[in-house]
Amino acid sequence: MCFRGRGIWHDDGVPDGELRRPLWRNLNFVALWTGQGLSDTGGAASSLAYPLLILALTRSPATAGVVGTVAAAVGVAARVPAGAAVDQVDRRRLMVGCDVVRMVCLFALAAAVASGHAWWPVVLVVACVDSVGGVLLDAAAYAVMPAVLADEQLESGWAAVQARGQASSIGGPPLGGALFDVGRAVPFVADGISYVFSILGLACMRGNFRAETAATGPSTLQHRIAEGFAHIWRTPVLRAFAIQTPLINFAYTGVVFTVPVALRVHDVSGGVIGAVLVTLSVGPLVGATFAARLSKRVPLPWLVTAIPLSSSVLFGVAAALVPSPWVAAPLAGIGLLAPAANVALMARITRSVPGDILGRIFSNLQFCAWSLGAVAPLVAGLLVARTSGHVAIAVFALADVVAAVVAVTHWHVWAAPAAASSADPS
């Protein structure tokens, strides 16, 4: 049976009813979600293992910082071309290819570490390949969501993705540290094995996951990238997202960096600092549990306004409490509403954006969302060094206030119903 949904063709002999099974009986979604969950956890574990390995090889914190910064910068820079790339190829094959390359690189690095032949530039290259592969895979995985979920499953599916991401970000780094203590090569072996499971999950997916592209139109990479940004600017809700979200992420990233630095300056122990940072994950993790239901019951304008308003208040309280460890109390509530807003926005984008540009839209929005956050650590460090932790957190709270103003001024945009996709069923 052939059918077309939101710009993606399916021709796999699977009845339409299979897409409409309950979420956790949807084999394509379960295969994608499980494989990516293991891969995300392995990647999060390696994210801590890379700097630990560099420190072990060079005894230079500066070198470890350079490797981490370069790998992160390469990943951010890759987001925009990644979105254009996934809109031109079979997205499942691209995901498999990314995981195969990353698996080979991780196993090769593990072998070099185990044999004593690891060199820090090699670690840098592997970290960059791993970062770019993750960006490409995420863009493709987001773009195939309309192909694996029925319309009524979008909120539940995106909520499950949010919960998976939060769980991986919480559990991955401690796992990476523990595995590194067992052996320097062990976390990279584990990460490589996680990619094996991801490949197996992708192999279980049935369907044609190549985007339908127009017969005429831009063919160069630059034109495809420009088309994605032009679509965002022409679409009021996407334009509002691209303006507001960078401010929110700038504030959040800045506070995450400021708090441990300010505590450490006042000789707070590393264990206490770690416990304080864990509280930052409480809100998003709890929020992800209720994200699907909350996104359907609370109007989107209320969510996108309440997030920066509540964060600015909580950050203000944190500014007053730092450098006391009690700063953890207000931080525990940060991000409680964010998963619901993300789910509502992701579902809205998935429903309204044509499938042939969906990869570009997701990747370009992520680039916009996190580009300002990249300078937040620098701003935080300068503010703490020249003023205090109180002032630094207050400045980031002010950024959230500005984001709230943006939300209020765009209230009518958030409240408008999502436009229908340009892909008509046939």
Topology given in CATH for the domain delimited by 2-210: Growth Hormone; Chain: A; (1.20.1250)
Topology given in CATH for the domain delimited by 228-415: Growth Hormone; Chain: A; (1.20.1250)
What pLDDT is attached to residue 8?
A: 36
What pLDDT is attached to residue 420?
A: 43
Mean pLDDT over the full length of the chain: 84
How many Cβ atoms sit within 10 Å of the Cβ of residue 37? Answer: 21
Beta bridge pairs of residue 210: 90
What stretches in the chain show pLDDT beneath 50?
Answer: 1-16, 214-216, 218, 420-426
Q: Are 318 and 330 in contact (CB under 8 A)?
A: yes
Cα gap 296→299, rounded to integer Å:
7
Dig out the tokens for 130 from the structure: 């791993």
pTM exceeding 0.75: yes
What pLDDT is attached to residue 250?
A: 92
pLDDT, tens digit (0-9, with 9 covering 90-100), for 275-298: 787 788 788 888 888 888 888 899
Phi, psi of 90 (to 5 degrees): -70, 115
What pLDDT is attached to residue 418?
A: 62
Cα gap 180→275, rounded to integer Å:
20
CATH 1.20.1250.20 region(s) of the chain? 2-210, 228-415
Name the residue among 42, 213, 52 with its Cα closest to residue 137.
Answer: 42
